[in-house]
Structure formats: C-alpha cells, structure tokens
Amino acid sequence: MVLRVSQFLSALLSLLCLSQEYTVDVFFRQSWKDERLKFHGPMNILPLNNLMASKIWTPDTFFHNGKKSVAHNMTMPNKLLRIMEDGTLLYTMRLTVQAECPMHLEDFPMDSHSCPLKFGSCKCQQIYIIQTVHISSLLSVPEPRPNFNFEGYIFMTAHFHLKRKIGYFVIQTYLPCIMTVILSQVSFWLNRESVPARTVFGVTTVLTMTTLSISARNSLPKVAYATAMDWFIAVCYAFVFSALIEFATVNYFTKRGWGGSRRDDRAGGGNNAYAVAVANYAPNITKDSTLPTISKCALGNLNKTTAETKPEQNKKTFNSVSKIDRISRIMFPVLFGSFNLVYWATYLNREPVIKDLDPSK
C-alpha cells in the first residue's frame, strides 16, 4: 500500500535547549486507496463524521522521535475523513507533537539547528511526502527521497531549520559582561593610595562576572564542550581578574615614605616643644615692664619658627600615579576592543553548520 502524507505547520510552540526538544502544532494529512470503499453516486467526494474513522482501516502512522503527541478534541475531535469515488481516503488530524531535537551548541547563541520530525508505518510499503505547507520558512523538506527501513519500519523525515535570534542574549548576558569589564578598568584612573575604593571595584566586578556566568549556564544542558558564550564570559572574567591583580601589583610597589614622615614628625615635635615653652614663658616676660625687648625677641622667634615649619609641611607630597596604571589605561581597553572585534566578526559572519541531516540516524 502506498501512503501519501502532507503537513501544514500551524505553529512552532517551543524550543527547549535544556531538554533538547521542540513542540509543533501541525495538521497531519494522510491519503491512501482502499478498493473496498469504491462507490458510485451523485457525489464525487463523501465527507464522513470523525466517528467513522474507527470503523474503517487506517494506517498505523506514528512519530519515531516523538516524546508526546496530543490530538485536539475541543470542542469536537479535530479530525476529518473524506472518501473519493475511486476509494481514495483523506484523513486529516490536528496534532501537537513534542519531539527530540539533537543540538550542537558550539556556536550558541549564534547557532542554527535542524530539528527532525520522523514518522512512519510498519504496514505501508511506501511513504511519500506529496506536499508540505509551512510558515516563516521554519519547515524545509527536500524532494521525496527513497524510503529507508529500520527494523521492519518505514520512515520519512521532515526537518525544521531553525536559527536562533541573539537579541535576548545581548541584553541579558553580553552587555552586562561588557559593562562589568569597563567598570573594572575605572580603577586604573584612581590614585594608588585609594586602596579601599580600588579593592571594592576589583572584588565587586569579579563577583558580578561569577554571577553572570552561573546564570548564563542555567538555560543550557550540561555539555562537555564550551559554547561561544562561554568563551566570551571566560575572556571577560580574565580581564576583570587581571584588573584586580594589576591593583595588587601597583599597591605592592607603592613607596609610602614612612621614614620621611617620622623624621618630619620628630622635627616638628622639637619645634612644637620650643614653641610651647616660649609661649608659656612669654606671658611672664611681658609682665615685667623692664624687659620689653626680651619679650619682643621671644615672640619674634616664635613667629619665625612657625613660618619655617609651614613650607616644610607643604613640601610633603605623594607620587600617586603609577607607571603600571598609565600602561594599563591604554593596554586593557585596546586588548578588550580587539577581542570584541575578532569575536563578533568571527561568529556573525560564519555560515551556519547544520549537522545530523542524515535521515537514517
């Protein structure tokens, strides 16, 4: 018996990467010829109630890679049976099919897939796809191919060619990663003495990248290879961690000048003691009207000492810009920009590679 099959794709309901399956809503039509049902009458085509389908022979067509199939029964069973004058039958059903879709996620999320829908029968010797109607170019079936036999079953395969849109992942993962890397490089423009601020920048950005990496992996199956998104996150993580290591290196080689500060403190302490002594003694001198000259000299020496101390304090400065910071301000943005240029040019211009198109698999 020859069985002819046609499909009308109503909707692609879902595509789940985690479980590697997809769900479609199709109108599944089967046509075959039964010599016993020939008739002659005023009508060339006889429409029958769907209840008649249980009273005549129908092919045992099933979906080989289907996990779950549901026939719609609201508000009545969505089935149609027609008999032609020569005994040809057309049997139409509306089905929601959940089927397996093996995925290769090396290029995720710039990947393309070919999800097969394998159907067949063990009673029919030949199966032909005579017509395939689809929407949005989601379903692609080549010319009818020779049937292939698998343990006594006859199968045909329709392929749904799917290409993922990257917009969601740009907003959800790529832009946050880029902004985190840029934020980590802000610390290069802070003074190297700003240890708390630079520490907060480094630790916060590292923890943020860790969170983004974990959340990006939650929607993917546990595969043994790295995806395109994994490579991008790994490089961003390396830039953020390198910025933290750069700060640690700058902080280690910073000369704080503790010896000079201590000498200044000791010198300042001596002058202050002299100033206090003179200040305490000055009122006693001024009480004696016979020694006005000595009082003026003591106060004059105190003013000179204070004036000489201020310039020395103003000369105490720090070299707050490190050579490593100067180099990092240029090197890190250039390297990260070059990486983005190569990454996006490589993956966006790559031709989609669709594997496992062999129907015998």
What is the spatial distance between Cα 47 and Cα 30, in angstroms, rounded to a whole number?
Answer: 15
pLDDT of residue 274: 44
Closest CA to 3 of 29, 38, 39, 41: 29
- Which tokens is 131 given? 């017509």
pLDDT of residue 50: 80
pLDDT of residue 318: 52
- 42 to 45, 46, 84, 85, 208: CA distances (angstroms): 9, 10, 12, 10, 76
The tens-digit pLDDT sequence of the chain (361 residues) is 778 888 888 888 999 999 999 999 999 999 999 998 998 888 889 988 888 888 888 888 888 899 999 999 888 889 999 999 999 999 999 999 999 999 999 999 999 999 998 888 766 555 555 545 444 444 444 444 444 454 556 678 888 888 899 999 999 999 999 999 999 999 999 888 888 889 998 999 999 999 999 999 888 888 899 999 999 999 999 999 999 999 999 988 876 544 444 444 444 444 444 444 444 444 444 444 544 544 444 445 545 555 445 554 444 445 567 889 999 999 999 999 999 999 999 999 888 767 655 444 4
Q: Which residues have a Cβ under 8 Å from the Cβ of 89 and sit 6 or more positions away?
A: 31, 32, 33, 34, 37, 56, 81, 82, 83
What is the spatial distance between Cα 123 and Cα 62, in angstroms, rounded to a whole number?
Answer: 11
What is the spatial distance between Cα 86 and Cα 70, in angstroms, rounded to a whole number?
Answer: 32
Q: Which residues have a Cβ under 8 Å from the Cβ of 111 and sit 6 or more positions away?
A: 103, 104, 105, 163, 164, 228, 352
Write the pLDDT tens digit of every residue in 238-282.
Answer: 999 999 999 999 988 876 544 444 444 444 444 444 444 444 444
Q: Which residues have a Cβ under 8 Å from the Cβ of 166 and sit 6 or more positions away?
A: 109, 110
Residue 22, strand partner residues: 15, 99
What is the pTM assigned to this prediction? 0.71
pLDDT of residue 1: 72
